């Protein structure tokens, strides 16, 4: 190469780097103009970004970069051409509302790492409810990723909520002042932030996790406002060809309602293949379940001779599914029938009642409550199990105990969803990491755990504040299999009947598993309401007065029927609430009201009245209590 050619090949990088230092940041503005993400290289050549809402800081200037083959590709960079984009579409969704909207403005920013000459793009999108960014590093062959320097610096004076179980995300979301957070604290997203000066709220997580290690977050110092990306399940991982990271997401809004209704996580995921997008075998619904109300370590509740009675109860409830949990594989073996013949018998019986049967399965060969079973962690084992389930008539699989978000496990999730779809099986992941929008691509994922659910009341106690925090923390990033609704007095653990019923209104799971025994539901005083609560919603709105962990107030619509759920997260303070019905359309509504009985946990104060949108309802709520209203239009 001649001197002239060498000079010509180096000039663009040098000029770009020089211009970056002096040039204004690249701004990506949301369609409504309120959310602005800014990207630039700082005076030391570090790629950085920031986020503002209505001109106020949400994320202060924070570093960006991926570490590839030992090189931090965010340090010493030249920022090049910017290509603008936009999108505006709607699509059906199973969750807080029935139609999701993907409306954004985006930018693809060319970046060059000057020391190595590595060229890549930073893709940024700004939505009315937040922003997201990812790195796309073109190339061939194998390269090693050993983490990122991506960080999220929240404004001083913020209050944050997070949980610290980064294996299966089963801890409560607790409130922290920044000053109280210890250095090197690890937390599993979402990290939820109440911004200072009543600016609003934010939440940090990731979307479209695929072929990459799952991101947790780490506090960078004592009381530091900086939370950096961490990858606890892989020190490094090898990728082949183009490296496309998951999206790093900052949800943001002036109020909790904006966050609860945000579609940003699933908007960032690829749409489903046509054969799955409209698959009639993927059906939301409610389910009964024997495990929670049984005795741990005792297989009596899963005994085959008791299963048809559960199917009968499921049909009586009008529920769509029944879940057979752990133990069926080794207890359903008799001299004349193997487990598959028994399973087919049960599925055939369920079909006569319009009840689908789902079954539990351990992900890998191992010991569950003293019994060793084969897993699903090889293609041969997985496809053989799915084939037998399909032939027996099973509608879905609950897969358990992964307890990791390593590259290996992330790939396992995707392999399961792909293979399950071939056999027309829905999937519910337990022992799971946070959702990252997977149902947009694989709608046969109908729920997952990754949440501290009601099972914990079997051996400890969930605080009322946990219930009141979940709609505004864990549920922001997707569906959660909490398994709500106990009306067994000894299992209330500081809550009331009304709070337990309200949790089924406020928590979102397209297949919703109700935890308790059928006879408990028949006798609790709210059997008709339990049968009426759907598992997916057409519309959701967070009502005034909601505060994370203190009070959750939500109204949700299914068709023309409206459901209100209120949960008091305070265990030692009763509260009053004035429920304004202005969310109702015009007309009269029959209101079924289920309130707390003062001083008592194990009963409902139930009443009925006719209301219109001009009315208000005065509610008195016990400590750890709740309230439910069902509002049905009066036929004229």
Distances (CA, A) of 327 to 294, 484, 526: 12, 22, 31
* Cβ-contact 462, 172 below 8 angstroms: yes
Q: How many CB atoms lie within 10 A of CB 14?
A: 12
pTM (two decimals): 0.95
Integer distance in angstroms from the first to the last C-alpha of the chain?
86
Alpha carbon distance 113, 76 (integer Å): 6
Alpha carbon distance 132, 1 (integer Å): 41
pLDDT at position 482 is 98
* Cβ-contact 459, 491 below 8 angstroms: no
Alpha carbon distance 68, 86 (integer Å): 30
What would the two tokens of residue 630 be? Answer: 């069902």
Residues of the chain with pLDDT below 70 are: 1-23
Which among 189, 214, 215 has a CA at the least distance from the CA of 202?
Answer: 189
Is residue 483 classed as helix, strand or coil in its secondary structure? coil
Ordered DSSP codes for 11-43: HHHHHHHHHHHHSPPEEEE-TTS-EEEEEEE-T
pLDDT at position 366 is 81
Which residues fall within 8 angstroms of residue 460, CB to CB, at 6 or more apart?
none
Mark out the alpha helices in 578-624 (DSSP H runs): none
Which among 378, 445, 447, 390 has a CA at the least distance from the CA of 418?
Answer: 445
Which among 230, 205, 235 has a CA at the least distance from the CA of 217?
Answer: 230
pLDDT at position 2 is 36
Q: What is the dihedral of CA 504, 507, 513, 516, to 10 degrees?
A: -40
Alpha carbon distance 433, 412 (integer Å): 12
List the domains of the chain with CATH numbers.
3-267 (2.70.98.10), 274-450 (3.20.20.70), 463-509+531-636 (3.20.20.70)
Is residue 197 classed as helix, strand or coil in its secondary structure? helix
* Cβ-contact 147, 229 below 8 angstroms: yes
pLDDT at position 7 is 31
N residues, the chain: 636
Alpha carbon distance 233, 364 (integer Å): 17
Q: How many CB atoms lie within 10 A of CB 633?
A: 16
* Cβ-contact 508, 236 below 8 angstroms: no
Could you report the per-residue pLDDT of 48-99, keeping only the tens digit for each? 999 999 999 999 999 999 999 999 999 999 999 999 999 999 999 999 999 9
Distances (CA, A) of 433 to 57, 98, 425, 504: 29, 25, 21, 22
What would the two tokens of residue 524 be? Answer: 């609790």
Q: DSSP assignment, residue 493?
A: T
Q: How many CB atoms lie within 10 A of CB 215?
A: 28
Alpha carbon distance 482, 506 (integer Å): 11
Alpha carbon distance 236, 146 (integer Å): 4
Is residue 532 classed as helix, strand or coil in its secondary structure? helix
The H or E element spanning position 564 is strand 561-568
Show the beta-strand stretches assigned E in 479-550.
511-513, 539-542
Alpha carbon distance 119, 308 (integer Å): 62
Question: In this structure, are strands 285-289 and 321-324 parallel, antiparallel, or unpaired?
Answer: parallel
């Amino acid at each position: 190469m001649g001197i002239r050619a060498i000079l010509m090949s180096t000039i663009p990088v040098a000029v770009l780097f020089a211009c970056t230092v002096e040039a204004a940041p690249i701004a990506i503005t949301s369609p409504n103009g309120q959310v602005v993400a800014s990207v630039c290289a700082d005076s030391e050549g570090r790629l950085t970004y920031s986020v503002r809402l209505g001109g106020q800081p949400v994320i202060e200037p924070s570093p960006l970069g991926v570490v590839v083959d030992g090189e931090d590709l965010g340090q010493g960079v030249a920022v090049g051409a910017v290509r603008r984009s936009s999108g505006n579409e709607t699509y059906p969704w199973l969750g807080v509302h029935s139609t999701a909207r993907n409306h954004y403005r985006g930018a693809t920013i060319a970046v060059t790492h000057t020391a190595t000459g590595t060229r890549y793009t930073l893709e940024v999108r700004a939505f009315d409810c937040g922003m997201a960014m990812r790195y796309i590093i073109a190339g061939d062959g194998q390269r090693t990723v050993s983490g990122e320097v991506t960080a999220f610096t929240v404004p001083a004076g913020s209050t944050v909520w997070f949980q610290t179980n980064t294996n299966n995300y089963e801890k409560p979301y607790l409130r922290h002042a920044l000053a109280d957070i210890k250095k090197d604290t690890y937390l599993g997203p979402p990290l939820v932030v109440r911004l200072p000066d009543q600016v609003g709220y934010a939440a940090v997580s990731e979307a479209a996790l695929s072929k990459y290690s799952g991101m947790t977050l780490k506090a960078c110092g004592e009381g530091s406002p900086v939370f950096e990306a961490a990858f606890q399940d892989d020190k490094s991982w090898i990728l082949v060809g183009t490296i496309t990271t998951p999206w790093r997401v900052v949800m943001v809004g002036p109020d909790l309602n904006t966050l609860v209704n945000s579609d940003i996580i699933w908007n960032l995921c690829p749409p489903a293949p046509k054969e799955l997008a409209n698959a009639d075998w993927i059906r939301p619904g409610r389910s009964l379940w024997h495990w929670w109300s049984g005795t741990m370590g005792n297989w009596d509740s899963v005994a085959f001779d008791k299963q048809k009675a559960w199917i009968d109860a499921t049909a009586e409830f009008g529920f769509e599914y029944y879940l057979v949990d752990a133990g069926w594989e080794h207890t359903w073996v008799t001299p004349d029938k193997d487990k598959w013949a028994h399973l087919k018998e049960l599925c055939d019986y369920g079909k006569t009642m319009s009840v689908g049967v789902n079954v539990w399965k351990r992900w890998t060969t191992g010991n569950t409550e003293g019994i060793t079973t084969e897993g699903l962690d090889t293609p041969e084992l997985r496809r053989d199990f799915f084939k037998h389930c399909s032939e027996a008539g099973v509608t879905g699989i609950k897969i358990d105990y992964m307890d990791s978000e390593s590259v290996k496990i992330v790939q396992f999730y995707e392999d399961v969803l792909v293979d399950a779809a071939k056999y027309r099986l829905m999937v519910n992941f337990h022992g799971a990491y946070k959702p990252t929008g997977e149902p947009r691509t694989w709608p046969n994922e109908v729920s997952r755990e990754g949440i501290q659910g009601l099972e914990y009341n079997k051996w400890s106690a969930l605080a009322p504040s946990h219930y009141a925090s979940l709609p505004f923390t864990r549920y922001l990033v997707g569906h959660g299999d909490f398994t709500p609704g106990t009306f067994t007095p000894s299992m209330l653990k500081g809550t009331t009947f009304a709070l337990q019923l309200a949790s089924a209104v406020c928590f979102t799971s397209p297949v919703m598993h109700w935890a308790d025994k059928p006879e408990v539901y028949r006798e609790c005083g709210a059997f008709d309401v339990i049968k009426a609560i759907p598992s997916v919603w057409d519309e959701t709105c967070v009502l005034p007065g909601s505060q994370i962990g203190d009070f959750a107030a939500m109204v949700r619509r299914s068709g023309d029927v409206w459901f209100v759920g209120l949960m008091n997260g305070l265990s030692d303070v009763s509260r009053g609430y004035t429920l304004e019905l202005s969310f109702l359309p015009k007309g009269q509504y029959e209101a079924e009201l289920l309130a707390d009985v003062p001083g008592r946990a194990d009963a409902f104060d139930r009443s009925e009245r006719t209301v219109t949108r001009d009315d208000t309802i005065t509610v008195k709520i016990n400590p750890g209590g709740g309230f439910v209203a069902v509002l049905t239009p009066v036929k004229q």
